[in-house]
Amino acid sequence: MKIVNIQTEIKQIPLKTPFITALRRVENVEFVRVTLTCDNGDKGIGEAPATKAITGEGIEEILDSIESVKSVLNFLSPSSSLEILHDKDTKHSAIQKIGSSAKAALDMALHMLIAHSQNLLMLEYLGANEPLTLQTDITISLNDASSMLEDAKKAVESGMNILKIKLGSDIAHAIEVTQTIAETFPHAKLIIDANQAWQVEDAFRYIDALRGVKIELIEQPVIAKDVQGLKCITEYCDIPILADEAVFSLDDAKKVIQSKSADMINIKLMKCGGVTKAIEILEYCRANHVKCMLGSMLEGPYSINIALHLAMAYSDVIKYIDLDSPLLYKEPSDELEFTFDGCEISLKA
């Protein structure tokens, strides 16, 4: 089986309401979909969203990257392509230069072709014995305190009980929002994501003000490169600290874990370069008894599908799932392999 065609298209999915974090504001999920067609007619599909603020790749960069590797991957088998795509010592300059999101899109399309060729569901191919019911959090966008409380109310009323609260650099606002949501919804689990907006002192102030409030974890309080600052916060507080923007690769994960700079790692296919690389990080975390979040950007249905299959295969390592994009789409997507019922996700029958 050989790849004979690689096609890209730009897709947009409107959101119910704008998605706002300390880094960006988005009204549509916009992504590149890549379709690999083999000589037997089988197709593998992968997707990469534009997240310039995070991976440095906009739509143009993702399209250019995929265009530049077409001549390398065409007429190879999916497994040879996958090997070349992730070959650290590759001589192909196009492969050396490809961004992590474009690589992730190709990687997931290749995985789909390989799982198909073995007649396996993706989750079986990745090592799960059976489908599981998973729970995702839902994002509460950064906004004024009353809008955030209102959004939390809507989320809880629609059956969500894990709220991922996006906070910014205004610590008084961060404290107020967290206290109000915690008091109003005492049974909700609160995940706090500062998206690098805080200084170490801000984090201390926040943590001190919220002693006694049950918080599941605090995600990436300080700027990605400040691993020392992250470590100070991890040592200072009893709430688990999760490294997100600080960890793209397996090497980043090793650095953070070996230096005990965070308690947990947020793995995203777009940061690490696809399923192949996510598995390397998951295996390392499994061996070192470190729990993970499996996160995502605002993504399309095919990249969410494969992330959910992966979450089922590594449910012992992945303690939190942040794959709520489909809940934010204005209209449900037929391309999802999973149903979302409140926070519960299961494979469609």
Q: Is residue 137 at the binding interface for Mg ion, with CB under 5 A as the rule?
A: no
Q: Which is nearer to Mg ion, 295 or 301 (CB)?
A: 295
Q: Is 244 a catalytic residue?
A: yes
| Distance (Å, whole) CA 194 – CA 218 | 8
SS3 89: coil
Q: Which is nearer to Mg ion, 34 or 167 (CB)?
A: 167
Q: Is residue 193 at the binding interface for Mg ion, with CB under 5 A as the rule?
A: yes
Bridge partners, residue 13, by sequence: 29
Identify the active-site residue in 47, 244, 252, 322.
244
| Closest of 52, 110, 14, 53 to residue 325, by C-alpha | 14
Q: Which is nearer to Mg ion, 53 or 84 (CB)?
A: 53
Give phi and psi for 270, each to the nearest 5: -70, -30
Q: What single-letter DSSP state applies at residue 228?
A: H
Nearest residue to Mg ion on Cβ basis:
244
Identify the active-site residue in 189, 268, 271, 277.
268
Q: Is residue 299 at the binding interface for Mg ion, with CB under 5 A as the rule?
A: no
Q: Is 193 a catalytic residue?
A: yes
Strands (DSSP E) along 147-275, which ranges? 162-166, 189-193, 217-219, 241-243, 264-268
Name the segment binding Mg ion (CB under 5 A); options: 105-113, 130-138, 191-199, 309-317.
Answer: 191-199
Size of the site for Mg ion (CB under 5 A): 3
* Residue carrying the six token digits 């997707």: 47
Angle at 109 between CA 103 and CA 111, to 5 degrees: 100
Name the segment binding Mg ion (CB under 5 A); options: 34-42, 158-166, 219-227, 249-257.
Answer: 219-227
Given a contact cutoff of 8 angstroms between Cβ atoms, the answer to whether 143 and 20 are in contact is yes
Q: Is residue 252 at the binding interface for Mg ion, with CB under 5 A as the rule?
A: no
**Interface mask toward Mg ion for 104-133; x: CB under 5 A:** ------------------------------
User: Cβ 54 to Mg ion, closest distance in Å?
Assistant: 9
Q: Is residue 263 at the binding interface for Mg ion, with CB under 5 A as the rule?
A: no
User: Cβ 80 to Mg ion, closest distance in Å?
Assistant: 35
Name the segment binding Mg ion (CB under 5 A); options: 179-187, 242-250, 305-313, 328-336.
Answer: 242-250
Q: What single-letter DSSP state applies at residue 188?
A: S
Give phi and psi for 199, each to the nearest 5: -90, 165
Q: Is residue 244 at the binding interface for Mg ion, with CB under 5 A as the rule?
A: yes
Name the segment binding Mg ion (CB under 5 A); options: 122-130, 185-193, 200-208, 246-254.
Answer: 185-193
User: Cβ 340 to Mg ion, closest distance in Å?
Assistant: 20
Name the segment binding Mg ion (CB under 5 A); options: 45-53, 72-80, 160-168, 188-196.
Answer: 188-196
Report the half-sphere exposure of 43 (CA within 13 A, side-chain side): 10
- Across 303-313, b (16+ Cβ under 10 Å) vs e yields bbbbbbbbbbb
119 Cβ neighbours under 8 A, 6+ residues apart: none
From the CB of residue 12, how many other CB atoms can be counted at a distance below 10 Å? 11
Q: Is 61 a catalytic residue?
A: no
For residue 28, is it left (φ>0), alpha (ψ between -120 and 50) or beta?
beta
Identify the active-site residue in 193, 252, 322, 324.
193
User: Cβ 95 to Mg ion, closest distance in Å?
Assistant: 28
For the annotated catalytic residues, the residue numbers are: 166, 193, 219, 244, 268
Residue ranges in contact with Mg ion by CB under 5 A: 193, 219, 244
